[in-house]
Amino acid sequence: MTRVERAAFIDRRLAELYPETPIPLEHKDAFSLLVAVLLSAQSTDKGVNKVTPALFAVADTPGKMMHVPVEKIREIIRPCGLSPAKSRNISELSRLLVERHGGAVPRTFDELEALPGVGHKTASVVMAQAFGVPAFPVDTHIHRLAQRWGLTDGRKVEQTERDLKKLFPQEHWNALHLRIIFYGREHCTARGCDGTVCEICRTVFPGRRRAVRTKK
């Protein structure tokens, strides 16, 4: 298979396996999604979903959150890890949302990425899932799978994102990044598949015999 053929098969197969693409992070609006994605850094979606109900019970808008003591935010989100930095970022971004954006989450990449603790991947998730703007958030898992599937030679997630955007139709990006995550968690985990085990790996590289060493 060529790279384009591999991409077409993967796109089609993942759509068959995961016709529905629910967002794993529980949220009710753009602000709660933004905070949840920020909390998910070096944490699991399941872990984030355990702490956000308590956090949003205390404050569920930027205007309310900016007045919650950082120490209280930190105590609630402690199980997610990196709580000192995350609590400061949640407090500060809430203040900036009120002061600069009238309490609303901005709808541009530049404005989102100017907020504390919000990198390109976080901004991409919010743009895609809260506002429906085509984006292709790439985390380390998608980066690893894209290498296993021969969709990129990129050593960094930035290159992988560019490569994936070239290979897949723009109208598929928002659902496809979730489908890759779902498939990776279920079938192509770091320990469960080395590039030779799961259905997609075996299909796109049927002659592969050696494990794939992914580039971080």
Of 57, 62, 59, the C-alpha closest to 34 is 62
pTM of the model: 0.91
In a domain, 184, yes or no: yes
Are 40 and 117 contained in the same domain? yes
* Residues marked as catalytic: 121, 139
Which domain, by its residues, includes 195? Answer: 3-21+136-204
CATH of the domain at 122: 1.10.340.30
8 A C-beta contact, residue 36 and residue 27: yes
Rg over CA atoms, the chain: 18
Beta-carbon contacts of 140 under 8 Å, excluding residues fewer than 6 positions away, are 157, 216
Across the range 74-85, mean pLDDT stands at 94
In a domain, 85, yes or no: yes
Tokens of 122: 């976080």
Are 62 and 123 contained in the same domain? yes
Are 102 and 180 contained in the same domain? no
The gap from C-alpha 11 to its chain's centroid, in whole angstroms, comes to: 18
User: What is the pLDDT, as a whole number, of residue 216?
Assistant: 63
21-35, 50-64, 164-178, 180-194: the lowest-pLDDT one? 180-194
**Domains in the chain, number:** 2
- Terminal CA-CA length for the chain: 25
- Residues belonging to the chain: 216
In a domain, 116, yes or no: yes
